[in-house]
Amino acid sequence: MVNGLTSGQFMSGFVFLHIPKTAGTSFRTSLEVEFGRRRICYDYSRDSRVTSRIVKKYHYDQRDECLFGIKFNKKKYSWLVGHFEIFRYISIFKACMFLTFIRNPWDRMVSEYEHFVRDNGYKGSFIDVIGRSDFINRQSVMLANVPLQAIGFVGITELYESELMSLERIYGLRIPVTRENVSTDKSRVSFNRHDLDRHKAEFIELNKKDYVLYDLATLLSRQRSELLAGGKDVAHCAISSCASGAIEGWAWFENDNTPPRVKVYINNVHVDTVESDVHMPGPSVFFPERRVIGFVSKAVFNEDDNVECFIEQNGQKLTREYLINNEY
């Protein structure tokens, strides 16, 4: 166990997946203050000067994730931090060991464009940037192919300080508040932000996945905050299938091995209660070590019925499992 997080297959420590322009630099700086740089392993691309030596050698050159994991533990790193897609390290760190922040997609994109213009001397147009494939659904791509509800902690940038409080309550992590990479000097930006608004409708159309992701992450964040304020444990949980004859899903408490009991309601009527005590098939990296976290209800319902599930111990409502794919 590492500060309440279950270790992965042979790894220890946390992974901070730094999505650009989501207060990630502030969070990383806070980690450096709290843990020291010697305890942090960095991956900001092969060519980045910040990227740690063991990442360049064992991930980029040798592509040996197993050996990378051994070296990571031997050096007693506490964190892996950087810009990368979650699936890069999901084979050696479980999903519940990842932390990240998500931001309103439009605000994040405008901020990134400002950064390109102000700090990188970019001369291209905003419309050229938002049309590039590597900028479409940028947040979703970095979190693709892993159920959102299974990720250890997904914070909301706009609620940054309160999210740090939630981190402390759940994991015992005391992360100081710092503000880095936040520019107040707009004189070096050669465009008016209001001029970009005429492209907002096109941007929203191109980035539907990011908006779905942001809305769900915001819902889960609000749910988490309400539970913590009430002194209740938070569960990772989702309904994975809701077809005629069976309602299936998974649930586990972050800091308690007690199996959550799931209450099933059909059209606001309680019809069944089941325990999350079924062994979960599928990729083991999505779930805790024990994997006995699944539930199945045989409640009968019609296609147009309203099906809802709640954790009995804390009243937490289950959302539908959200698994982003990388297809556009």
**Cα dihedral 142, 145, 151, 154 in deg (nearest 10):** 40
Q: Please say if the pLDDT value at position 175 is more than 70.
A: yes
By the 8 A CB rule, do 247 and 294 touch?
no
Three-class SS of residue 180? coil
Ranges of CATH 3.40.50 domains, the chain: 14-229
- pTM attached to this predicted model: 0.91
For 122-144, what is each residue's pLDDT tens digit? 778 899 999 999 999 999 999 99
Q: Work out the pLDDT band at 219, boundaries 50, 70, 90.
A: very high
How many whole angstroms separate alpha carbon 110 and alpha carbon 210? 14
pLDDT per residue as tens digits for the range 106-124: 999 999 999 888 877 777 8
Whole-number pLDDT of residue 186: 53
14-229 has which CATH code?
3.40.50
Here the contacts of 127-131 (C-beta below 8 Å, separation 24 or greater) are 127/199, 127/202, 130/199, 130/202, 130/203, 130/206, 131/206
Question: 255: which residues sit within 8 A by CB, 6+ positions away?
Answer: 4, 170, 233
User: What's the distance, Cα to Cα, between the start and end of the chain in Å?
Assistant: 38
Q: What band does 9 get if pLDDT is binned at 50, 70 and 90? A: very low
Residues of the chain with CATH 2.60.40: 235-311
The encoded tokens of residue 167 equal 């981190």
Cβ neighbours, 10 Å, residue 142: 20
pLDDT of residue 181: 61
Topology classification of domain 235-311: Immunoglobulin-like (2.60.40)
Q: How far are the Cα atoms of 69, 245, 247, 263, 321 from residue 300, in angstroms, in the given order? A: 46, 6, 9, 14, 21
Instruction: Count Cβ atoms below 10 Å from residue 327 Cβ, excluding itself.
Output: 6
Element (H, E) at 233: none
